[in-house]
Homo-oligomer: A and B are copies of this chain.
């Protein structure tokens, strides 16, 4: 089968670019020095490629990702880098601990008690290192670790995420600011102990020498937002569309809001020959663009601005080698 036989919109994973990205990353951060983030693809088949490249520990954002990865036999060590209070979901994760080590992030007495009550065994103390989201104040990390240990939990270390620094375009400035954020994590680690100091992402994957592991995820498939940074990773995911309408001034492709994560703004449009068009706007089922020589029934690639929520909108990814469809992967870790 080739891409011209696919119903559109169709999520494509370009295998050569994916393998390039996985190889580059594994060269920079081999084996457990990277804990690939599953939220960026939500796909056990893709995680299997990351395992093939040598990674054995994974980061997850939802209980369903943890349970799906464990059940698929992927990852010996799964970290839910997120706070959960729901007893049922915590219990469901505890029930897969015979398949993998399950770590969960905690940042409060409530999250620690919920994890302990559910029978989970391993936690990381989640520390706020500058991004105002989850995470305790660095100075509180030691007290929380003590409480976790008093509840019988094994505290493996700390995690923090400098998400506010992913898109700093000046690399020298970024390095200075990342180091300052990591200093907070190291201060917390002195209070907590344990072997794990976890953090980082695709935008800072090569700036860390103090972390024991980096949680990058977007590097595998990339998006136009991260592409602005000039990282050595290639766009490995596009949404294939069909041109359904053209007129003198503009054309319309059948890829819209329901096929694209839109929080980082409009996607890019590219012909199958690699020429770029100008995107005007995106509607539920359409992207309007100009300056690309296309006719009705032509295929065009739409490049998502944000990969993670794009994956959450598709049932399947078609793996392609050039124009040839070589595999079909289920996006099987969607939902919660």
Contact = CB atoms under 8 A, between A and B. Distances in A.
A136 B86 CA distance: 53
Nearest to A163: B283
A286 B309 CA distance: 12
A111 B285 contact: no
A33 to B, nearest CB: 23
B257 A86 contact: no
A245 interface: yes
Interface stretch (A22-30, A144-152, A189-197, A258-266): A258-266
A162 interface: no
Contacts of A246: 108
Nearest to A244: B83
Contact of A252 (B133, B262, B283): B133
B262 A7 contact: no
A206 interface: no
Given A257-B309, A283-B163, A308-B258, A247 B137 contact: yes
Nearest to A312: B258
Given A7-B89, A108-B296, A133 B288 contact: yes
A14 interface: no
Interface in A245-295: 245-247, 249-250, 252, 254, 257-258, 261-263, 280, 282-286, 288
Given A82-B254, A257-B309, A258-B309, 6 more contacts: A61-B284, A83-B252, A107-B245, A111-B244, A111-B245, A132-B249
